[in-house]
Structure 1
C-alpha cells in the first residue's frame, strides 16, 4: 500500500469539508500547507547542517522531498474538501 497517507488525507479532507458548514477558504488552507512545508524543509536541512557538513546535500534533498510531500498532501486535503462540500450540498438538497 504505497498511497495510504494520501488516501487518509483525502478522507480527512472529505470529512472536514462535510462537517464544516459553508465553503472552506481553500486559498488559506493552501497557504498554511506551503508554510508548513517550508518550515519542515528548513528544519530538516538545518538538522543536516548541524550534524555534519557532509550531509548538506542529503539534508537538502530530504528537506525538498518533505516540502513537496507536504504541498501534495495539502492539495489532496483541499481536493477532499471539494468532495465534502459537494456531499454537504447534495445531502441538504435532498
Structure 2
C-alpha cells in the first residue's frame, strides 16, 4: 500500500505543477506516459529489490500479474494527475 500512496502523491504533484491550459486529453496522454515509467520503476522495486508487503502483488500470476500491477499503478497515477489539476485550478480561482 505504501507504493500506491507514493504513486498517487507523485501523480498529484505532477498534475499540480503541470502548467498550461486545462487540456484533459493532453493531461491524460502525459499522465499515461509518465505513469507507465513510474509504474515500471515501482513494479521493479516491488518485485525485485524489496519483495514483501510494500504493495499489492500479483506476481504469482506470472507475466499477466506484472501487467496487472503496471496497469494499477498507471490508473492510480492518472487519477492523482487529475486530482492535482483540480487542486491547481481551485487554487488559481
**Normalised by the shorter chain, which TM-score bucket?**
0.5 to 0.7
Alignment of 1:15-34 (within 5 A): 15-22=13-20, 23=22, 24-27=26-29, 29-30=31-32, 33=36
Q: Is the 8 A contact 2:27 2:81 kept in 1?
A: no
Identify unmatched segments of 5+ residues in structure 2. 44-58
Question: Structure 2: how far apart are the matches of 1:15 and 1:28?
Answer: 13
Measure the CA separation in 2 of the matches of 1:83 and 1:25: 11
Corresponding pairs, count? 69
**What TM-score do you get using the length of structure 2 for normalisation?**
0.61
In structure 2, distance between residues paired with 1:11 and 1:28? 16
Identify, as 1 or 2, the structure richer in helix.
Answer: 1
Structure 1 residue 60 displacement after superposition: 8.8
Deviation at 1:29, TM superposition (A): 3.7
Cα distance change on mapping 1:26 and 1:18 into 2, 3 Å: same
CA RMSD of aligned residues (A): 2.7
Q: Say which one has the larger Rg.
A: 1
Please list every run of 5 or more consecutive structure 1 residues that lacks an aligned counterpart in the other structure: 41-58
Q: Structure 1 length as normaliser, TM-score?
A: 0.60
